[in-house]
Each structure stands twice: as structure tokens, then as C-alpha cells.
């Protein structure tokens, strides 16, 4: 959990604060997928990956914090950097998008 809180993309605050920050970043540079990690009281065992792939569309993905790593899309990632690399590399892949649709709460 310490590696997540220390990451430059981690943001504490309400979901409204996080979304506002992402929308501001998206306005400044609309060609990038801006993302943040956060924790919310309503899901204490999870870290959320919140991002805006397209204008105005907020996406939240839940990452389960386990003793041996981070459970994301059914795979255990050993570090946050592994998870970020997976996200950046596979985001546009059909298998990733299929998992995203299936994993929505």
C-alpha cells in the first residue's frame, strides 16, 4: 500500500476531486489518457484506477490489494509499476476491453 500512496499518480480526496483533476488534465492535453489511483472508504480492500480514455467518460477499475501483490484483471501484479505497464501496454487491446466490460460492478 505504501508504494501506491507514494506514486505520483496517487491522489487522496473525494471522487469528485479526483474526477475534477482528471477533467482539468484532459482539457489541457486531450490526446492522452489521464489516470489517477485512489482509495475510497466504501471499498477498503481496493485501490481504484480512475481514468478518462475519451472526452467526458470516467472509467473506474478496482484493484484488489493482496498480501503478494495487486490483483488486476484476474492477474496478480507484483508491483504498481507492473500494473501501470500492463495498463499502458494493453489498454486498447480487445481482451483488455472485454475484461473491463465483464469486471464492471
Task: Give the tens place of pLDDT for each residue, 35-94.
Answer: 999 999 888 899 999 999 876 689 999 999 999 999 999 899 999 999 999 999 998 888
Which residue has 483488455 as its cell numbers?
96
φ/ψ (deg, to 5) at 98: -65, -45
d(CA 40, CA 58): 16
Residue 105 reports pLDDT greater than 70: no
User: Which is higher by pLDDT, 88 or 97?
Assistant: 88
pTM for the complete prediction?
Answer: 0.88
Which residue has 466490460 as its cell numbers?
101
Amino acid at each position: 500500500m505504501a508504494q501506491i500512496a507514494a506514486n505520483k499518480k496517487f491522489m487522496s480526496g473525494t471522487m469528485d476531486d479526483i474526477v475534477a483533476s482528471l477533467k482539468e488534465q484532459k482539457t489541457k492535453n486531450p490526446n492522452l489518457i489521464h489516470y489517477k489511483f485512489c482509495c475510497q472508504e466504501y471499498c477498503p480492500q481496493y485501490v481504484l484506477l480512475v481514468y478518462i480514455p475519451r472526452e467526458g467518460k470516467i472509467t473506474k477499475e478496482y484493484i484488489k490489494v493482496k498480501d503478494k501483490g495487486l490483483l488486476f484483471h484476474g492477474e496478480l501484479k507484483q508491483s504498481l509499476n507492473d500494473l501501470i505497464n500492463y495498463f499502458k501496454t494493453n489498454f486498447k487491446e480487445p481482451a483488455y476491453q472485454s475484461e473491463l466490460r465483464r469486471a464492471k460492478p
